[in-house]
Structure formats: C-alpha cells, structure tokens
Amino acid sequence: MEVKNLTCVECPMGCQIEVGLSNGVVEYVKGNTCPRGKLYAENEIKRPLRVLTSSVKCVGGKMLPVKTDKPIPKDMMMDLMSKINACHPSLPIKTGDVVIKNLYEDVNLIATKTIE
Amino acid sequence: MFDVAVIGGGVVGGLLLRQLSKYQLKVCLLEKQADVSMGASRANSGVVHAGFDAKEGTNKAKFNVRGNQMMPSLCEELGVKFKNNGSLVVAFSQDDLETLKDLKARGEKNGVPDLEIIDKEQLLELEPNINDTAMGALYAKTGGIVCPYELTISAIGNAMDNGATLYTDFEVVGAVRDEFFTVTAKDGRTIQAKIVVNCAGLYAGEVAKIFGDDTIKIGARKGEYILLDRESAGFVTRTLFFTPTKLGKGVLVLPTVDNNILLGPTAEELEEGNTETSKSGLDRIMSKANQMCKNIPYYNTITSFAGIRAYSYTHDFIIEESKIIKGLINCAGIESPGLTSAPAIAEYVVNGLIGGLLPLKPNNNFNPYRKPDYFFKNLSDEKKNELIRENPSYGKIICRCEQITEGEIIRACTENPRATTVDGVKRRTRAGMGRCQGGFCQPYVMEIIAKCNQMEYKSVTKSGKGSNILLGETK
Amino acid sequence: MKHDIVIIGGGPAGLAAAVACYDNGAKDVVIIERGEELGGILNQCIHNGFGLTRFKESLSGPEYAERFIDEVKKRNIKYYLDTMVISLNKDKVIKAVNPTLGFFEIEAKSVILAMGCRERSRGALNVAGTRPAGIYSAGTAQKYVNIKGYMPGKEVVILGSGDIGLIMARRMTLEGAKVHAVCEIMPYSSGLKRNIVQCLDDFGIPLYLNHTITKIHGTDRVTGVTVSKVDKNRMPILGTEMYFSCDTVLFSVGLIPENELTKSCDIPLSPRTRGAVVSQTRETMVDGIFACGNVLQVHDLVDFVSEESEIAGKFSADYVLNGAKAHDYVDTKEGENISYVLPQKIDKAVSGHVKLFFRVKNTFKDCTIRVKCGDSVLLERKKKIAVPGEMETLLITNDKLKDLNQTVVVELQTNS
C-alpha cells in the first residue's frame, strides 16, 4: 500500500488529504471535509485538473479576463495558453460569453467580465 | 555656435546656466543622462548651511555664506520650496561643548549672523525629541533646507525659458579646441562653444582630461539615507547635527521641505559610481540617529537611498579657469556645502570668470520667475475649480499618496525641462514619492509620459536608457 | 450637496455596504470611487477562488465584483468614479475632487470608510542594494499583466509569500516568465495553502522559507538578487548567500490599511490592525462613521469582506433612520498567541450574535482557542492546525452578551 499526502485546492480550507493506493488504484481517501475533496484527491492521482484563468487581448487593445468553464488537465495548461494568447475577440462582451469554444475537448474559454 | 557650453546638469551647472541666461549669450547644457539632476543633486541632505563649518579663507567658507544669503530670494524667483528652519549642532559631551565655542567663533569670522549657544533646557524646548543626554547646542538661525533636485530642475527650466538649450543623453567623449571648442557626444552629436564650464561632478576629472587638463583629481563618497513618511512631520523641525569630529559631520536628523523626516547620511569611500544601499549603512544611520533622538518613528519608513558626493583631493572647491586649457573653466570637487554655495559659485563663475573672457550684455528679456511646480497645491479651492473647469485634468488625482493630479504630471512632461521618465515625473511633481512609492500610480504616470512624449507605453523608462519598466507584451 | 450615507471606496467593501444600506431602508446612498470603474482591486484579480462561501461557486475577481455592481445598479445607487476624497471631518463633511465637479463637499449623516489597503513597498523594508527598474510590488505587477497587458519582467524572484505574490508567480509563469524563487523570511507562508499548491508546486517554483533578499543588484535594470537564510530573529546568516540572476523582483510583503482619512479626523486606530477601533456594528469611536473591509483589517477572503461590509451597511442605515444610540462597551483583547481581535469593542446595547475575527501569531498544531471573560470560558474550540495566514472566527451568541462584565480575551494554547 502506497500513501500519498495532498493539500486540497478546492477551497481556502486547504484540507490535508491522505490517499491510500494499491497498484495505483485509490483504496481510500481521508482528511477531506467534503465530497469535493475526495473527487479532488482521486483526480490528483489520475490526472490533476485545474481551472485555467488568464486574459485575452481584445480588438482595440483592452484586456479581457477569461477562464475555462470546467477544469482542464494541469499538464495541458501551458499548451492551451498559446491558443488563448492567439485569440482576440471583439467588444462588447458579457460575463459568461464563450470566447473560445472547445478550447480543450468540451471545455470552453469564457469571459469573466462584461466590457461594453 | 554657443558662447558657453556647461557640462553637467547638477545644481552647480543648472544655476550657472540660469545665471548665463541673464546675459545676451547663446548657452547650452550638456547632460549625459536622460534627465537633469541625476548625480549628487539627486540625493543629498538638502541643507542650506549657515556657514560656520568651513575654515575661514577657503572657497567653501566664501561661497557658503554668500550662497546662504542668496538662497531665499533665488528660491522665491524659481518657485522652489525653501524653509529657513534653523540648524542645531548638538553637544553630547564636555568636549563637544568646547567645540561649539570654536564653531561659533569660526562662523562669526566667516560672517555668519545670529549664532547662539543654547543650553540643554532651551534645546529640549526647541526640539523635544532630542535625547536627554544632550548638553547644549549651537543654534544657527540662518540654517535652512531646500529640495536639491527641485532647485536644479527649476533653475534649468528657467534658463531654458530664457533661451538656453538643453541636450540630454549627451555624454561628452571628445573635445577639440581650435578657435573654439568642438565637443562630441558618445552618440556622435557635436556642439561648438567658445567657452566650456566643467560642472561634471563625480566625472569632472574625466571631463577635464577629455579637454586635455589632467590636473583635476576627484574622489567619491557615498551617503546613505532613510526617509520617513510625512506622517512623521514635526518629529524634528530644525536640522540636527552632531558636533563635528575629525571624521566629519556625521549623521543628520532633519525635516525636508516636503515635511518628510530624513536620517543620514553615512559617508563611505567609493570606488565606482554606485549608489547602492547596504544593511550595514542603514544600521549605522539608525544607531547614530538613535543617539541624537528618542523614539524615532521607523515604522513610517518609506524608502532608503544613497547619494554620491564628489570631492577634490584639495578638499576645497576648485573654481577656476584651467591652467592648461584656455577657455575651460572647472567647477570641481563641489562637496558639502556645495548645494548652499551653488548660487554664489554661479554668480562668481559668470560675472567673475566668464565676464573676463566675454562681454556680458544684460538680456533685457530675462524673466527670473518660474511658476512653482507645486503651484496647483497652493491655489484656493475656488482658483483650483476655475482651473479644473478650463482643464479637467487638474481634477483627476493620479498619485493618491501625495495627491498629484494628471494636470500637474502633464505639465511636468511638457514644460522645460520636460520629464521623459518615471523618475523625472517623480522629481518634478512628487508623484510616486509617497508611502506607496508609486505602486498605484506608476502605470498611469507611464501613460501620461507616453502620450506627452509621443512614445510607446512599453518604452517608457524609470530613469533613461536601459531602465525599461516593461519587458514586453503579454499577448 | 447632502446625502444620508456616503461610502468612501467602490471596491468589494463599499459595494456590499451600499447594497446593505439600501436594503435596510437608507436609500440615499452614494459611493465615491477613486478609480475609473467600480470593483476596486477585484478587477485585476482575474484568478478564481472568490465567492466559495457566499455563492458556493468559484468565481474570478471581476465576476465576484460584477455580482455586486449589478446589485448596486439595480437599486440605482448613485456613484462617482474618478473621484478622490481629500478630507473628512467628524461632522461628516467630505471634501472630494473629480474632473467634472472640481472640488466639492458632501454633508453626510453617516459615512462608511471602505478605502481598502495598499501594499508595503520595498522601501518600507529597507532592502539593501541598488534602485534600478524592475522592482515592483506584486499588485503593481498584477496591474501591468492583467489590466494593461504588459510583462514587467521575464526572470523573476519574489520576496514574500503573501497570496498576491503566489498568484503572480503562477500568472507570470503562464505568460512565459520564469519564476526562480519565492523567498519568505518567516518559517511559514502567509498565503493560503491552496495557493502554495496550485501556484508554486504545480509549476515547480521553489519556496524558500526562512530566507530573505539581502541585496538587489543592477544599475539600470535589476540583474540579480542575493538571498540569505535567516536565523530565529530573522537576521541573515553569513555564509548562506545564494545569488539568483533575474531581471525582476516582486514584493509581496504585506498589506497596510489605507487609513490616512481615518487618521485625519482623529478616529482612534488599533495599533494591531492599523485600522479603526470598532464595535461589532463596525461603527468607529466617532458616532455615525463606520469602517469595513481591508481598511479595517486585512482579510484573506473577499467573502468575509462582503459579510463585514453588510454589517456596517446595516448599522449605518439604522443610524441614519433611527439616530445615535447610547453605547455600552466592553473591550476585547488578544491573549496568548493571538495577534489581534476584531471588533475591539462589544456594544452590549446592540442585540445579536457577535462574530469575533482574529489571527493567530504562529503556526500551531493541536491547539485550543478560548474566548474568556474573566475566569469564565465563553467558548472553546479545538483546532488541528491554526496558521497566521488564515483568519479565524468564533461566535459569541446573543444570550451571552449580558454576562460580559469585563474585557473579553481570545487566547490559544497548544494541547501537547
């Protein structure tokens, strides 16, 4: 049995989670306060996921903050940044509007600010 | 062809340029940096010395007392903040008390008025935050304070308004003398002048050498300072000196004209022209300052910095025409009390030395007055509102800590000598000099600089070539 | 001009306070904001993690701000942008300036201070070395990157492990910079644990605890820093120097409440929080002047800022509608291992539960936090871990207020 210690990043509590593994398969998760912590721990073992936040430069030069509408694999972050950097949407734009559809599989990049 | 070219945009060069612009002369200033007042005049104590320090008969003594007399009206004309706050040389021992008597006698010989030795009780009444171990002081009522870069910038701006030309980024690398001088800059630009005045501060020796005079030997000392926020205003109101020893005047505790409290300087021999601060230096300032005063509010520290002092190996000011190169006038080794002496030096060099080489016809159009950089702050609310109606940028505060408006920053970027860098704006307006040290306003100040100087946002620098604030775009 | 309530600051605190004033019956509210848009610092905090407590979802800063801005607009609450308050006095006369009105005065019945905080600068730390370009507070760098779209540097060392510094380590890495190190003089980070994981660990950025920058190098632009290990007294240890070549140094060394206006009208401040002394209503010691958000105490979560500001808004409205009331104060005080407690006073004349906010002085494992009044223990909570970077709260219920007959002390003791 292999034991891994993780810090949950789902919320500011930052629970210290212990994951028990046998042959790479999760046997148990402890230390989490909520179900999100369990899911987080399982994903960390499989393939860690993160919501990516960044900005894009709109036509005209204004910066628009954006985020992925679902978590993406952590190891894809840098690759996806180049896609994000190449995108220049036009204004106006509203919070929640899709800036890049299917940035990664079914994950979209969405605006997190309304700019007139 | 210029009649006179001044090399070095410090306080001596600046006041000289202004003095020259009072006459019908074509004059210019050559400054190697992107802005003026970038050497010793950028960072020093800002003390207008009464004049009891220098040994009688020296240049220092002569120019100090005269400079002290000239300073109030000069500052009035240039719109520069000057405060006749008085200075105290504080004694902490019996020996010190004896020295005070000598200083008083020397001061009187130098012609310093209103010197008085006061006892402990009087001293603590004047400055309650002085340590109780103090035993008395020499009180010089003619001592004052001025902002050294404000004085320099205003003098140069006033000279330019009266016809003088400023060349920045003009690092003198070559000089040839035929009938007149041809002076070459590092980037290839040349100017011609009949007379050259060398006010190159730390580099006065090198500049003289470029002209063929290798007699000027300059050394350098570094002085570190700690600056406390305006919130500490009133902690001390006079300039506090330790009683001088063989080792020099030591650390001062004094107010600035902008109501900060300044502690320092250290004095350290320097190999290169480097103004870094050191932990040991800052510790030394604090330990010395703690001997002078109790309960110094260090929690109000907003910055620490270091300045450079150039001194000549003669340990007196060198102010004379070169013995080797005719038409080259050296003003070198202008260490303390150089700031105080500068107006008198300028007067002497122009009227005494240059006057012997060129005819001086008064420039009848000379306007000695300059609108103060802080003019807006001094207006009544009604006047401010009138101005804001005309020009709304005066209603937009950019620097929150010092409450500096967009209008004032635009003015600094468009009036002589124009600010082209973030530090240039800071020295002219105080934007970025407050407690947040530009954290909030710098991105906006850069926008104004870029707009006024028609340059790209990302090419705005802190203080000239190589000091870019930004290293690229994100996208 | 006259208004019932003037709120100074249109960031998260001011916005939440404004909505609460309105919803509690004081409709004549005006917000004065010095920036060019509402939302304050949230506008440049484009990372997520905001609103988990309040909205049960992870929002970015601008999204969190927008929810409150929408509420303000829905209520037609008046606000001035690009407007800076110059002075405030105890009679609640506010002097402000903007480009369209020039200098103008507002007479208010109640004032809510919501000016937020500023970052400590390099100067305040007296870090030795040169003063070239390339030295920024983390928040200034954040503004350049997120709002202006420029890179303040490519090779970065960060001093201080506050949350903004950690967030900027990730942000600049994502934008192509190389962050060589984050140095923290304390034996623990002052940032949230999750930010250590997702901002540093995720990108392999080393965190050097017990280390500080002892010298900055470079004449025009930063060329490097010397980093030294520090001893127990936070003094650099000779011989432990490491040199990092870099073009940028970011400072994330703490936030200071912006209380210049507060001080100018002699409102008593707490030396612990550097914010005003307040009761649980967030009323300062001057009747009718309230304070909330980071101007009062530096929060680590905006959700707490909103909560606190709603309290201030509610009681400000009450003050305007029902007038001043007599106070019956009992003090609170930080006991062993606690760095501060807020509110500093409990007004027994005000009914309702009182939530105490406080921070611990160090990292403690297996400890008990107690709230005491004299010898009697009002509350007790065991904690597996308590860290200075995370604000703690405890609730004194309404029924206990009447028994508070002397200073209420919060203390922490380890159980081992």
Q: Is there a common fold for C1-119+255-325 and C121-253?
A: yes
- Selecting from C60, C175, C390 the residue whose C-beta is nearest the C-beta of A112 gives C60
Q: What is the reported pLDDT for B351? A: 96
Q: Which residues of A touch B473 (CB under 8 A)?
A: 57
- B459 at C interface, C-beta within 8 A: no
Distance between CA atoms of C60 and C28, rounded to whole angstroms?
A: 30
Residues A61 and A107 occupy one common structural domain = yes
Mean pLDDT across the stretch C107-120?
Answer: 97
pLDDT of residue B250: 86
> Do A61 and A25 fall into the same domain?
no
Q: Does C15 have pLDDT greater than 90?
A: yes
Residue A116 lies in a domain: no
- Interchain contact B391–C (C-beta under 8 A): no
State the average pLDDT over residues C300-326.
Answer: 96
pLDDT of res. B247: 64
C379 and B CB contact within 8 Å: no
Q: Do B474 and A56 touch (CB under 8 A)?
A: no
CA distance B474 to chain A (A): 8
Within a domain: A23: yes
Q: Which CATH number fits the domain that encloses residue A95?
A: 3.10.530.10
Tell me what the pLDDT averaged over chain C comes to: 95
User: Which chain B residues touch C32 with a CB distance below 8 Å?
Assistant: none
First to last CA, chain A: 56
CB contact under 8 A, B471 and C152: yes
Domains: count for chain A: 2
Residue A24 in this model has a pLDDT that exceeds 90: no
**Minimum-distance CB partner of C151 among B231, B385, B472:** B472
The pLDDT, as a whole number, for residue B461 is 97
- A39 and A57 together in one domain: no
- Chain B residues with at least one Cβ partner in A under 8 Å: 473-475
Q: Does A4 touch chain C (CB under 8 A)?
A: no
B315 is an active site residue: no
Give the best residue of C37, C81, C164, C220 to mutate against chain B (max B CB count within 10 A).
C220
Which pLDDT score, from 0 to 100, does residue B388 have? 97
* Residue from B18, B32, B42, B49 carrying the catalytic annotation: B49
B111-143: per-residue pLDDT in tens? 999 999 999 999 999 999 999 999 999 999 999
- Mean pLDDT of the C291-305 span: 96
Residue of A nearest to B474 (CA): A85
In this structure, the answer to whether residues A57 and A91 fall within a common structural domain is yes
Q: Residue B474: its chain A contacts at CB < 8 A?
A: 55, 57, 63, 85
Distance in angstroms between the alpha carbons of the first and the last residue of chain C: 61
B172–chain C Cβ distance below 8 A for any pair: no
Chain A interface includes C365 (CB < 8 A): no
Q: Does domain C121-253 have CATH number 3.30.9.10?
A: no
Question: What is the pLDDT, as a whole number, of residue B248?
Answer: 66
Instruction: Give CA C95 to chain center in angstroms.
Output: 25
Q: CATH assignment of C327-416?
A: 2.60.40
The ipTM value here is 0.93
One domain, residues A67 and A24: no
For strand C248-251 and strand C289-291, is the pairing parallel, antiparallel, or unpaired? unpaired
Asked whether the beta carbons of residue C174 and residue A77 sit closer than 8 angstroms, the reply is yes
Say if A82 falls within a structural domain. yes
Domain interval for residue A95:
53-111
Is A97 touching C (CB cutoff 8 A)?
Answer: no
- A92: cis peptide before it, omega within 30°? yes
Lowest mean pLDDT among B126-140, C56-70, C239-253, C391-405: C391-405
Ranges of residues in chain B with a pLDDT under 50 are none
* pLDDT score of B279: 87
Tell me, what's the pLDDT at B273?
57
pLDDT class of C26 with cuts at 50, 70, 90: very high
A84 with A65, same domain: the answer is yes
Q: B437 and C214: CB-CB below 8 Å?
A: no
pLDDT at B272: 63
Q: How far is CA C49 from the centre of its chain?
A: 16
Task: With beta carbons under 8 A apart, name residues in chain C contacting B278.
Answer: 128, 215
**Cα of B351 to nearest chain C Cα, Å:** 39
- Superfamily of domain covering C1-119+255-325: FAD/NAD(P)-binding domain (3.50.50.60)
Q: Inter-chain contact A112–C62, Cβ cutoff 8 Å?
A: yes
All residues of chain A having their beta carbon less than 8 Å from the beta carbon of residue C202 are 48, 50, 74
List domains and CATH numbers for chain B.
2-41+149-218+314-356 (3.50.50.60), 83-145+219-311 (3.30.9.10), 375-459 (1.10.10)
CB atoms within 10 A of CB B374: 18
Distance in angstroms between the alpha carbons of the first and the last residue of chain B: 49
